[in-house]
Structures are given as structure tokens and as C-alpha cells.
Amino acid sequence: MTRHRKFLAGGAVILAALAYLIYAGLTQSAVYFITPSELQAAPVTGKAYRLGGMVLPGSVEWNPATLDLAFALSDGKASVPVRHRGTAPDLFGEGRGAVVEGSWTGDGYFKASQIMAKHSEDYKAPHGNPGDASYRDLLRTLKKDGTAR
């Protein structure tokens, strides 16, 4: 019986350790997901958030030399300026959904450490989409001036 109790006690210690592990993990690593209006209503400086919205058309500024990217995320009611260092993911684009992880700086912008762009769920016409003509154009220029092939 005492042996039985010992094992039960051991199990309880293990369970408690696990519960603590999860609790500590959640309090330290879980990140709240907020919308631009929620952020603007109550901006907390320095706290990690995930901010989700639509990339406002016309707002994207990209400086290749310094790798500085600036854009605004909007939820239709409010928009938040976002800054990031580095190239955006392929799916990132104006008028599309994006989620950024980072924090509000207090200097009037949200500093993003990571950008997660979303796949658009719309069904796309198989051919002749707007991007089509412009990239054919691009290929022509590159084939003319390009180095290989």
C-alpha cells in the first residue's frame, strides 16, 4: 500500500509539473489576436499581438535598399500603420488579408517581426487574370536584357 501511495504521489508531482509547463507556456507565449479597431481603441505599448486585417490599397511602401517595408492594415473601420524589415512573403499584396505579429511602438506604428499573408479563397479565372499581362511584359524585358537563356 505504501508503494502504491508512493507511485500515486509521483504521478501527482508529474501531473503538477506538466500543468505548470503548460500554464507557463501559455502565459509567456500565447499571443492575442486583435483587429486594427481594437488596437486603436486601446493601444498597449510593447505587448506582443497578432494584428490581422486587409492591406490598404496604395499604402505599401517598400525600400529595397534598406529593406524597410511600410503599409497599413485596415478592418474597414480603422487602419494601423505597420513597419517591417525584410521582404514580405509571396502572398502579401495590396487589398489582401495579412496577419502580422509584433507590437505597438508608441511612436504611432506597429512594428512587425513577422508577416503571415493569407491565400485568397476566391476562385480565379484560369486565364487572363490582371496580373497576366504585366508579367508577360516583364518576361519580355528580362529576356531581352537578361544574362542567361
Residues that bind other proteins (CB under 8 A): 3, 6-7, 10, 14, 18, 21-22, 24-26, 28-34, 50, 62, 64-65, 67, 86-87, 90-93, 96, 101, 117-118, 120-121, 123-124, 126-127, 129, 131-132, 135-136, 138-139, 141-143, 145-149
* 76 vs 86, beta carbon nearer other proteins: 86
Q: Are strands 79-85 and 48-55 parallel, antiparallel or unpaired?
A: unpaired
Query: Burial of 38 by CB count in 10 Å (0-12 exposed, 13-18 middle, 19+ buried)?
Result: middle
SS3 6: helix
* 108 vs 134, beta carbon nearer other proteins: 134
How far apart are alpha carbons 11 and 145 in whole angstroms?
70
The least distance separating other proteins from the CB of residue 35, rounded to whole angstroms, comes to: 9
Nearest to 50 by CA among 118, 89, 100: 100
* 26 vs 107, beta carbon nearer other proteins: 26
- Helix or strand run (H / E) with residue 101: strand 97-104
The least distance separating other proteins from the CB of residue 79, rounded to whole angstroms, comes to: 19
* 24 vs 44, beta carbon nearer other proteins: 24
